[in-house]
Structure 1
Amino acid sequence: MAESGQQLPEEVLALIFRHLSLRDRGAAARVCRAWAAAATCSAVWHDTNISCDCEREGILIPYLSACLKHVHNLRLEFEPSKKPSRRAATELLTALVGRSPGLRSLCLECRGEKPLFDAGRDVLDAVHAICRAARQLHHLDLRRLPFTLDDELVLQVARGCPELRSLFLNNSTLVGSVGPGSVLELLEACPCLRALGLPLASLSYTALEALTAPHRAPFALLALRCACPEDARAPPLPDDAWAALRRRHPGLSVELELEPALPAESVRRILQPAVPVAALRLCLSADTVGPLEFAAQHYAATLRVLEVRAAASAELDAALELLAARCAGLREVHCFCVVRPSVLQAFRAHCPHLRSYTLKLTREPHPWRPMLVA
């Protein structure tokens, strides 16, 4: 510990300041020159989380201006229905353009509800501008952005971010506007891409073929969201295409998220035995028991995460017990309805790698918290 009157080294101050909120960093920067230098150095800003709801209005852009060049990884939260929060987020994204050439990762998260008939043009225009300027961008995560993402954005990413490693576009909108052609252009322009999140209808046989090209980096994750009418109508991709993809990338994991808008016949078409499903999230208005029995039969070797939102029933409990007995590699199970005690016993007995679970035996107030396994 520094003696009275002795200044802590800048690197020590930086380690402290990196854990402070923007407001507190700004206050620290006004104490003295030494603190100002430490509060604006690259070590403090390399990985930055900003909530536009928590910070004092007006502090974002003035204080950040001198620090944006040091931001490499940014996670930005805002609430689109609150004008000050949205304005601060848009201004910050706009300010990043040209001031943060070293930006490597951008994750946008929206909280609350978005206004009706809101296309998010202001936010999306700022994302477009960043993709034009951030040539070294490696990671772009827009799955928590409640606006329709389209071909124009995907093509801008393809043109502007050749070093991209991961891109997540599988957000919660019910309109599919990303076509297979733009995804194919993205894959051809970004040979280092290793993780991709898409609506199911955006994926094509040609895209799977492109992923098997010999010059590509190892591909690790394909996250598919199935929620809109286009997804329900999408034809199944051939088993031989999935088999070729698994041979080329033996470490590939697929995440499937099935939403209530899907009719039962579409669910049966989407669940294919050849797909290496590692995470299955079911929130269906129709039958849930059938998909669980299918997963128990075909995904026993690959399934690691299961999430179920359905009405409680004896049939559902029986399907969960069957899945527990066959899918010994499960690490997480989250069921958002009350289950009988034998379901909990089955997962604890048959799944030795289980790390957390949400299996409630009695109804509790929401939100339900998962139980961590020691």
Structure 2
Amino acid sequence: MAEPGEQLPEEVLAVIFSYLSLRDRAAVARVCRAWAAAATCSTVWHHTNISCNSEGESMLPPSLLPGLAHIHNLRLEFDSSREPSRRAATELLITLAARTRGLQGLHLQCRGEKPLFDAGRDVLDAVHAICRTARTLRHLNLRCLPFTLDDALVLQVARGCPELRSLFLDNNTLVGSVGPSSVLRLLEACPHLRALGLPLASLSPTALEALAAPDRAPLERLALRCACPEDARAPPLPDAAWAALRRRHPGLAVELELEPALSAESVARVLQPAVPVAELRLCLSGDTVGPLRFAAQHYAATLRVLEVRAAASAPLDSALEALAARCAGLREVHCFCVVRPSVPRAFHAHCPRLRSYTLKLTREPHPWRPTFVK
């Protein structure tokens, strides 16, 4: 009787095994030599998703360690509130740093309850180790980490990752610890950056000038999160600097997220007509109607995605209808409060490119699911 691994060519087995979890990859690697060879070949590991919530709490099985050398893109999920899950994620990252030289993409996804203010040093030290060894790293996404990111991390990225194409540091934290000078060092060291996510206070006029330099790669996305006291106190960036940036990068899309920490005065400083806002997320404790009317007036040509979290009201409904009439390019609109029937009708009538929306006419259990336009 032929061994199971002899029934299919290795390249076919590798494609099948690439869809398996780590636990299942370890299981198939123990079936026979042919399956073990297929389970650790490069095709299986190029794009790898690992969940330390469901894979168990132990370290990567020794039989799969050779596969780490083949990882090009890793998406790693863990639960920061569970010590075994966080420890497994940290050990995996440290092991990966010692074994791979070809890592190109790393996306960390943290779930569970938010940790304490000073938590996450173990995970961030492991990210430091990755950035020291993976000089081919092109994409680093840390926006789903609830830990405070600091200048030391940004400077390590600048030293160790000269080929970086995208970096997202606009994470869910109420403390801003990335200074404008560190961002400027990053821009000098990484001339190929095409996408950048930052807290608003980390961006300076000098950084905008650096991004507009003629020898830089085209900047495609700039994500700015305004959520901490430093963001609320940040002075507005000069309109002339934004204008120069738009001339240099006409395809630039700005993602702007405003959180409850911002006062009405701060919101007025952040919303600048010269910024090419493509995605606007409003989760304000104060007035939301004013920012919506501002967006309808100044971002009509660029706005593609709108997300609103506010209390239901007739003025809010009217502002949404007015925005729909002016922003014909909208592709997504998500409003997490009950609206009147005329609101979805307005978006259907005026926004022919609409792909999905969350516009509920009656209160429903959360989470609210979007409706997709056929």
Equivalent-residue separation in structure 2 for 1:214 and 1:159 (angstroms): 23
Write out aligned runs for 1:217-228 (5 A).
217-228=217-228
SS in structure 2 at match of 1:217: coil
Question: Could you tell me how far 1:212 is from its partner in structure 2?
Answer: 1.1
Q: 1:373 is aligned with what amino acid? A: V
Structure 1 325/24 Cα, relative in aligned 2: closer, same or farther at 3 Å? same
Write out aligned runs for 1:227-306 (5 A).
227-306=227-306
Q: Does the 8 A contact of 1:148 with 1:175 survive in 2?
A: yes
Equivalent-residue separation in structure 1 for 2:61 and 2:280 (angstroms): 41
Q: What is the TM-score of this pair, normalised by structure 2? A: 0.98
1:328 corresponding residue in structure 2: 328
Q: Deviations over 1:281-309 (max 9, x none)?
A: 00000000000000000000000000000
Structure 1 288/39 Cα, relative in aligned 2: closer, same or farther at 3 Å? same
Q: 2:60 is aligned with what amino acid? A: L
Q: 1:30 is aligned with what amino acid? A: R
Q: 1:228 is aligned with what amino acid? A: C
1:72 corresponding residue in structure 2: 72
Write out aligned runs for 1:203-222 (5 A).
203-222=203-222
Q: Does the 8 A contact of 1:61 with 1:92 survive in 2?
A: no
SS in structure 1 at match of 2:272: coil
1:342 corresponding residue in structure 2: 342
Write out aligned runs for 1:117-136 (5 A).
117-136=117-136
Q: Give structure 1 stretches of 5+ with no counterpart.
A: none
1:174 corresponding residue in structure 2: 174
Structure 1 4/145 Cα, relative in aligned 2: closer, same or farther at 3 Å? closer
2:38 corresponding residue in structure 1: 38
2:152 corresponding residue in structure 1: 152
SS in structure 1 at match of 2:98: coil
Q: Does the 8 A contact of 1:321 with 1:346 survive in 2?
A: yes
Equivalent-residue separation in structure 2 for 1:248 and 1:274 (angstroms): 14
Q: Deviations over 1:122-143 (max 9, x none)?
A: 1111101110111000000000
Question: Could you tell me how far 1:3 is from its partner in structure 2?
Answer: 12
Q: 2:217 is aligned with what amino acid? A: A
Q: Which of structure 1's runs of 4+ aligned residues deviate more than 4 A?
A: 2-6
Residue 83 (1) aligns with residue 89 (2): no
Q: Deviations over 1:129-163 (max 9, x none)?
A: 11011100000000000110011100000000000
Q: Does the 8 A contact of 1:273 with 1:299 survive in 2?
A: yes
Question: Could you tell me how far 1:56 is from its partner in structure 2?
Answer: 2.4
Q: What is the TM-score of this pair, normalised by structure 1? A: 0.98
Q: Deviations over 1:254-313 (max 9, x none)?
A: 000000010000001100000000000000000000000000000000000000000000
2:19 corresponding residue in structure 1: 19
Structure 1 123/59 Cα, relative in aligned 2: closer, same or farther at 3 Å? closer
2:184 corresponding residue in structure 1: 184
Structure 1 231/332 Cα, relative in aligned 2: closer, same or farther at 3 Å? same
2:200 corresponding residue in structure 1: 200
Q: 1:156 is aligned with what amino acid? A: Q
Q: Give structure 2 stretches of 5+ with no counterpart.
A: none
Q: 2:18 is aligned with what amino acid? A: R
Equivalent-residue separation in structure 1 for 2:326 and 2:39 (angstroms): 53
Question: Could you tell me how far 1:4 is from its partner in structure 2?
Answer: 9.3
Equivalent-residue separation in structure 2 for 1:115 and 1:223 (angstroms): 24
Equivalent-residue separation in structure 1 for 2:165 and 2:6 (angstroms): 45
Equivalent-residue separation in structure 1 for 2:159 and 2:5 (angstroms): 54
Equivalent-residue separation in structure 2 for 1:61 and 1:257 (angstroms): 41
| Percent identity for Structure 1 against Structure 2 | 81
Q: Does the 8 A contact of 1:324 with 1:350 survive in 2?
A: yes
Equivalent-residue separation in structure 2 for 1:117 and 1:196 (angstroms): 24
1:163 corresponding residue in structure 2: 163
SS in structure 2 at match of 1:109: strand
Deviates more, 1:267-276 or 1:21-30: 21-30
Equivalent-residue separation in structure 1 for 2:81 and 2:227 (angstroms): 24
Equivalent-residue separation in structure 2 for 1:213 and 1:339 (angstroms): 45
Q: Does the 8 A contact of 1:310 with 1:337 survive in 2?
A: yes
Q: Deviations over 1:51-81 (max 9, x none)?
A: 0010123252534412110011000000011
Structure 1 372/92 Cα, relative in aligned 2: closer, same or farther at 3 Å? same
Equivalent-residue separation in structure 2 for 1:145 and 1:6 (angstroms): 44
Question: Could you tell me how far 1:171 is from its partner in structure 2?
Answer: 0.4
Q: 2:309 is aligned with what amino acid? A: R
2:137 corresponding residue in structure 1: 137
Q: 1:182 is aligned with what amino acid? A: S
How many pairs were matched up? 373
1:314 corresponding residue in structure 2: 314
Question: Could you tell me how far 1:115 is from its partner in structure 2?
Answer: 3.3
Structure 1 63/77 Cα, relative in aligned 2: closer, same or farther at 3 Å? farther
Equivalent-residue separation in structure 2 for 1:156 and 1:138 (angstroms): 14
SS in structure 2 at match of 1:66: helix
Question: Could you tell me how far 1:120 is from its partner in structure 2?
Answer: 0.8
Q: 2:325 is aligned with what amino acid? A: A
